[in-house]
Structure 1
């Protein structure tokens, strides 16, 4: 397996487990992908289905470097669902889609490697 190391950065300050529980990270399925021409940096507008409890939410995601629109539809992704909505150019982003930087700083989406129910919470 190929292994690269991300440039050394200090570990964030220690938090209590209860602080971690305040961040609500859920799995959803991308159901719609649109170009986001108005965004300052290349991005897509995603519509993500988190299932019955949360429903469909919108997110702006700077993932155009590694992902084509066609391959994103149907993909499971993780997102923070309890941040306040945030205005990104012409859209209101309702959730923060999660990813990790690769060696060049391009975003690689955080996604479960097996099917899990929509809306399942990360723990």
Structure 2
């Protein structure tokens, strides 16, 4: 399935509220960001702290064109934490870090506009 990430994408089919509740989206703080040269598309390897319940998880994020490695640690991000882990090359991505496409189709990270506790769940 290919998803259209730009602003011209048609609206998705309606879902039940219970379906939305099954997607566990949490806020975490990036602890570290490293290059991921083995990825097919340019990406970083992130370690994100989601607090005491979820813990520290790894994620691959295709954000290299909009973010420098050194600006990522300490930044809060949102991620889906209940998808199965996904093998990307030799790296196991444990969460899906969320973002929106800008005008050029590059990923802009999704985060709260004020700091919230790590592990806070979207509702």
TM-score, normalised to structure 2, is: 0.94
Aligned residues: 118
Deviations 1:66-85 (A, max 9, x none): 00001100000000000000
Q: Which runs of 5+ in 1 are unaligned?
A: 1-5
Query: Structure 1 residue 60 and structure 2 residue 60: aligned?
Result: yes
Separation (CA, whole Å) in 1 of partners of 2:8 and 2:93 = 30
Separation (CA, whole Å) in 1 of partners of 2:121 and 2:38 = 32
Measured after TM superposition, the shift of residue 7 of structure 1 is 4.0
Match of 1:107 in 2: 107
Match of 2:84 in 1: 84
SS of aligned partner of 1:108: strand
Deviations 1:23-63 (A, max 9, x none): 00000000010100000010000000001001000000000
Q: Which runs of 5+ in 2 are unaligned?
A: 1-5
Over the residues paired in the alignment, what is the CA RMSD in angstroms?
0.7
Match of 1:74 in 2: 74
Measured after TM superposition, the shift of residue 8 of structure 1 is 1.8
